[in-house]
Structure 1
Amino acid sequence: MKLKKITCALFFMFTFPAVAADKGTLTIPTTAVTGNPLGVGSDQMVVPISILNGRELSLKRENTLAETLNSIPGVSNSSFGPSAGRPMIRGMDSDRIKILQNGVNNLDASNLSFDHGVSIDPLIIEQIDVIRGPATLLYGGGAVGGVVNAIDHRIPKEKFEGITGRGEVRYGGANLEQSNAAVVDVGTGNFVMHFDAYNRDAKNLKIPGNALSARKSASKSWDPADLVYKSYTGDHGTNKLINSQSETKGGAIGVSMIFDRGYAGVSYAKHQTQYGSPLESAVSIDMDNDRFDFASEIRDLGTFFDRAKFRAAYTDYMHKEIEGGAINTTFKNQGVDGTFELGHQPILGIKGVMGLQFESGKFQALGAEAFVPSSKTNSQSAYVYEELPINQHKVTFGLRHGQHDVDSKGGGSFVAANKSFKTNNGAIGGLYTLNSQWSLTGNLSHNERAPSYFELYANGVHAATGTYEQGQANLKIEKSNGLDSQIRWKSGQDSLTLGGYFTKFSNYIGLRSTDNLDVDENYKISQFSGIKAEFKGVELEGKSMLTDNLQLNVRGDYVDAKDKTNGGYVPRISPLKLGAGLKYEFDRFGARLDVLHAFRQDRVASNYNYQGGRELITDAYTNVSMMATYKLPTQLNLEAFTRANNLLDEEIREHASFLKDIAPMGGRSIMFGLRGEF
């Protein structure tokens, strides 16, 4: 019934192409807006950035934000089944990866636990920017690993008259997904309104063979009942992943007034999703997120500061963990995050911005499995970012200073505490143009991250990890120094980028296993502590037009992350991956074939618990996928598409996934869809 209603709505919208053609088309910026406040394109960025937008993004949309980004070098998915997954960049996750929506922090609880989903649905996103590597200058000390910025146009920024929009419906895939989305913008010149709505219904994931890996079956896990290590006997399904279904719906409304020298607008968005936890067949999560955004920009001020920009969001997030039909634990996160930025006139050729960022959040965990206390986090930061063009070259530099207060209310087994941290971040980089085709970039950075509330104050059983998690209130600031460089080549539509990086941590905070038991002597204690660590790796991305209609694409990435204090490796590090693809387009028809090979990952951590057991080796796999598109010969701008994944029906287990040995990726599948714009 839902699919029928949305399909009718899309048909109704597509009957207005003449209106849009007569009155104009809404212009949506598609250049990089993340990582450089001066608005330069991605070719002029010093930091590595990848952009998904337009038709390419539309055809790559998946259940989660992380899965949508799986084609980007250096990005992996810390999935907890098909409905929950947070992007990992260069082996780093949690608070080291900032997830933004329109440049403002996305406040949910996905950084706290792997089974908590990200409250952004890719169906309505217009562009995704991914910065690989430290972006701490502009987005805070937490962005040591990188930034993912999901951009919509819920707050329109350009004048527009008429009606325009897009929509799509799709069915199929390994989880028999049935989803649809519609986006509409209505403008009368200076006054523009935005509407969007989406819903997604997915069944249990089809998998090749047993959900439980052979290695997990043969391994020993800690049994709290008998206080001994036993063989793992959990049943998570055969050919179907038990309790992996989901249902999502949401929408938004926004309005803007467009002026000659800027704009001001507000929006309200609602996101709801219910999904099962493959770890436990009787557990599901009910997530509800309300978000209010405000954004404004004024240009050409005619003073030393020629541009002012302000953006802020208030988020009211809640999710309930339901077990056996009853609410077991409730997580709430309410907060405000915003940035005020001033761009200045050139000084001796130097141009840049000065900014203030603020965040105030209140987190609560209520119920049987509340392993963290109610807490408050307040942060204020000031930053400056500058660029100096030198002929065809460029030098960039910046500084950031932050004050962070992380307070615990205490109660029960939790201590009441007030912790304050001061962080300082700095970077200097450059772009050197060798000739019209070749260029070099480099970036040297010092990064500091304040410990989060759960790293400081956690003290309880965490069902998702199967351990007793214990924070340390005396944790010091996480500090690192990093070097990032790339060599870039571009000639017409052909391009190649090869990059390398090295990051050295003097205090890398992570959850590490101990042999101690909790006070009830049931669970092994895992404790947040700091170690010395080194991350290094390489990334490759390129494309070449073999003929006028045929394009070759290549990609690859490798990361090595070592624990320099205890020896061994940091956990859940993605293995070496190499991929190649062919993309063909002629007239109305398009086709694509992609092959990605992930090598065996045997560099595993020795002091990290996976559901009471050690991290296990992950076998290699090859994922072959295909896609075909056809633009229908109608007056409407409609395109039919079909997408097939895992054509070899391989057992694909992503090493970065917390449930890799319990919940493999989907088996051989095919999806059909129809998308359109007007």
Structure 2
Amino acid sequence: MNMTNRLAPSVWRHKPLWLAMMAALTSPVTVTAADNSTTIDLDQVPVTGNPLGVASDDMVVPVSVLGGRELSLRRQGTLGETLNGIPGVTATQFGPNASRPIIRGLDAERVRIMQNGVGVLDASSLSFDHAVGIDPLIIEQIDVVRGPAALLYGGSAMGGVVNAIDHRIPKESLNGYTGRAEARFGGPDNTRNGAAVVDVGNGLFALHADVYSRETSNLDIPGYAVSKRKSLADGTERDSKGKKTLNNSAGFANGGAMGASWTFDKGYLGLSYADSNNYYGTVAEDDVKIDMNNKRTELAGEVRDLKGPIEKLKLRMAYTNYKHVELENGEVGTTFKNRGMQGSLEGTHQTFLGLNGVVGYQFQNTRFMALGEEAFVPSVTTQDQSLYLYEEYAIDKHKITFGGRTGETSVRSADSDNFGTGQNKRFSPNSFALGGLYTIDESWVATVNLSHNERAPSYFELFADGPHIATGQVEIGNTALKKERSNGIDAQLKWKSGGHSITLGAYATKFKNFIGLFNTGNDRLVDGELLPEAEFRAVPALFKGLELEGKFALNDEWALRVRGDYVHAKDTRNNDYLPRISPLRLGGGLDYRLGNWNARMDVLHAFKQNDVAENELKTDGYTNLSALVAYKLPVKYHVELFAKANNLLNDEIREHASFLKDISPAGARSVLVGARADF
């Protein structure tokens, strides 16, 4: 299937920009620097989870960092699938084109997705068939904060934070050029994709440009799309969504960006503009495709070594113009728009009474619109502003961290013929945290973090009212919802010695009023079809779990990796399990390095999920065995060829956390080949 020949208006709407950027990236670069092979070696240090920029080993909250070669080899077509398998992280897996990260069993508004430290504005939290407005092809680093991060990033970070960093605004002085390019072909969806990134500078000014393109066919699957369990439960024909191939799962996407910055001894100031397009089929409906366009303008700057109580100021702002239309048999059905400005101003103060820390102001002003027959939420304006404080106090090799956040949130729905008179709901969420890091000896470190978090209900939790075809149910909001409140504890024990390391973490989060979407047991007649009814309501809940990650250097060539995670979540009022909670997962792998060769074998086993909510089907376990071989060419620039094999056992992989687990499995056994180059 060649989707470029189908109806995909937004993909080619900006063809002149696309061609201009391709020309810029493929033309020779003339640099007057003495050494025009100068490159910037950007360390994979987390920039998320601690505003003071400490290494991950010195952080109280658990943070995973993907960057460089590891990110390139792990990269998938969606952000969710790229991160799936990191301890504590699963994915919504709404087909191969739309997958959003789930952290510790929490999804949607509780996982804050950011780009360069500023929130991503799209419609992915409203409906899981809506793709995240970030393409992994152009991302240089991804930080994942597991656990509550509401103190620094707002109430929507109750579950964690995913910060995708693209360096489109250069932050360091560059005298010469640096860049990367990669391409890959194959996989279960017959992907054909490529990306190129280049930065050029003269020591004072730096320019950035990137471009990418991705095309996929319908996804190959091991057997039937519809699970045997679902077919027995409701009589759905097993081949109704496809056999050996998942119906309506092809896609096409492209985009690019340009950025520029003025770099000086004590900081930088820069601007970037990005335009991305995504056109793909929604596997829940065979005749529906989504045509998405996302424009984002960013402004960022930093000034260091200031005189006075504030020694560093950091500004980050982004304006987003997001739109997608849902096409039914080529005709426009529903249109979704989300426009707005988000940003923050953060100041690092001088050391005071042994305290190092920051004070910040964060704001958001967005307007969401849904127009058409299948719009199940009204148009909504959301305004949010908050102040936060984060401090660290060092005691020899130990430290204490603490801070707080206070804010105001307004969620206002517009008058509508379908939804009635508009309403304005106001909330005042507040959060605070206290943590500590204790250095036991040179190898052992223990951390603990206590937090109280509050979140204002989202617009769809408040105002939804109608059939949501993508999830196959009628969703009913609740305007009486109060702030969602939780108290949590997160502890880690870390060991590192030589080339060995292991981290064991445990956590528990108790919600006073967890806002969830629960099946009522009733059915609604919609256009002649009975759909189950689900409503947003608040229940007391307890989430608890374990996470494990380790690496052991067996010798100079071989290394062993282990990982695992477990989440247990219940409605404590009725002692019922909460829906879509990932089961116990255990995994491991072997890495082999010899000269220019690198090989890897990895296995992840997900156990059967029997602990299910009412009206939720159980999910069988699976084993995903994968392999990788890579070879670094003996040439001037860093060029590497690689081949990846996935699902070698051709197992039927269904993620319990997915709404579509029983009609949309993961891909069949496949091989993907590619090349990557850094210069």
Scaled by the length of structure 1, what TM-score is found? 0.95
Of the three residues 576, 586, 599, the one matched with 1:591 is: 599
Name the residue aligned to 1:236.
Answer: 241
Measured after TM superposition, the shift of residue 636 of structure 1 is 3.0
- 1:301-380 to 2 correspondences below 5 Å: 301-380=306-385
Asked whether the 8 Å contact 1:17–1:636 carries over to 2, the reply is no
Distance 1:439 1:129 in 2: 21
Asked whether the 8 Å contact 2:224–2:238 carries over to 1, the reply is no
Name the residue aligned to 1:499.
Answer: 505
Cα 1:478–1:157 change in 2 (3 A) is: same
Measured after TM superposition, the shift of residue 622 of structure 1 is 0.7
Tell me the alpha carbon deviations over residues 94-113 of structure 1, each in whole angstroms, 9 at most, x when there is no partner: 00000000000000000000
Long gaps (5+) in structure 2: 5-18
Distance 2:525 2:601 in 1: 55
Asked whether the 8 Å contact 1:10–1:182 carries over to 2, the reply is no
Name the residue aligned to 1:256.
Answer: 261
Name the residue aligned to 2:587.
Answer: 579
Tell me the alpha carbon deviations over residues 68-94 of structure 1, each in whole angstroms, 9 at most, x when there is no partner: 112310000111101001000000000
Asked whether the 8 Å contact 1:6–1:180 carries over to 2, the reply is no
Of the three residues 421, 438, 446, the one matched with 2:444 is: 438
Amino acid at match of 2:570: K
Cα 1:107–1:7 change in 2 (3 A) is: closer
Name the residue aligned to 1:176.
Answer: 190
Asked whether the 8 Å contact 1:14–1:636 carries over to 2, the reply is no
Tell me the alpha carbon deviations over residues 110-139 of structure 1, each in whole angstroms, 9 at most, x when there is no partner: 000011110101111110000000000110
- 1:26-425 to 2 correspondences below 5 Å: 26-220=40-234, 231=236, 235-415=240-420, 416-425=422-431
Asked whether the 8 Å contact 2:549–2:562 carries over to 1, the reply is yes
SS, match of residue 487 in structure 1: strand
SS, match of residue 564 in structure 2: strand
Cα 1:116–1:70 change in 2 (3 A) is: same
Measured after TM superposition, the shift of residue 528 of structure 1 is 0.7
Distance 2:29 2:633 in 1: 15
Amino acid at match of 1:675: R
Distance 2:79 2:647 in 1: 19
Amino acid at match of 2:468: H
Residue 467 (structure 1) aligned with residue 473 (structure 2): yes
Measured after TM superposition, the shift of residue 142 of structure 1 is 1.4
Asked whether the 8 Å contact 1:459–1:469 carries over to 2, the reply is yes
Amino acid at match of 2:449: N
% identical equivalent positions: 54
- 1:451-600 to 2 correspondences below 5 Å: 451-518=457-524, 522-600=530-608
Distance 1:531 1:585 in 2: 51
SS, match of residue 601 in structure 1: coil
Measured after TM superposition, the shift of residue 515 of structure 1 is 3.7
Measured after TM superposition, the shift of residue 26 of structure 1 is 2.3
Measured after TM superposition, the shift of residue 279 of structure 1 is 1.2
Measured after TM superposition, the shift of residue 186 of structure 1 is 0.7
SS, match of residue 72 in structure 2: helix
Distance 1:8 1:147 in 2: 33
Runs of 4+ that moved beyond 6 A: 5-11, 13-20
Measured after TM superposition, the shift of residue 658 of structure 1 is 1.3
SS, match of residue 642 in structure 1: strand
Tell me the alpha carbon deviations over residues 203-224 of structure 1, each in whole angstroms, 9 at most, x when there is no partner: 000111111110011012xxxx
Distance 1:523 1:583 in 2: 49
Q: How many residues are aligned here? A: 660
Asked whether the 8 Å contact 1:212–1:661 carries over to 2, the reply is yes
Name the residue aligned to 1:224.
Answer: none
Amino acid at match of 1:91: G
Distance 2:47 2:373 in 1: 43
Asked whether the 8 Å contact 2:550–2:561 carries over to 1, the reply is yes
Tell me the alpha carbon deviations over residues 27-65 of structure 1, each in whole angstroms, 9 at most, x when there is no partner: 434211001000101010000000001110011000001
RMSD of aligned C-alpha atoms? Answer: 2.0
Amino acid at match of 2:598: G
Tell me the alpha carbon deviations over residues 589-622 of structure 1, each in whole angstroms, 9 at most, x when there is no partner: 000000111100011110xxxxxxx321111111
Asked whether the 8 Å contact 1:6–1:181 carries over to 2, the reply is no
Asked whether the 8 Å contact 1:467–1:525 carries over to 2, the reply is yes
Long gaps (5+) in structure 1: 221-229, 607-613
Asked whether the 8 Å contact 2:22–2:211 carries over to 1, the reply is no
Distance 2:522 2:219 in 1: 37
- 1:589-668 to 2 correspondences below 5 Å: 589-606=597-614, 614-668=615-669
Distance 1:205 1:290 in 2: 28
Measured after TM superposition, the shift of residue 6 of structure 1 is 12
SS, match of residue 659 in structure 1: coil
Distance 2:429 2:64 in 1: 28
Measured after TM superposition, the shift of residue 517 of structure 1 is 4.9
Asked whether the 8 Å contact 1:136–1:142 carries over to 2, the reply is yes
Amino acid at match of 1:496: I
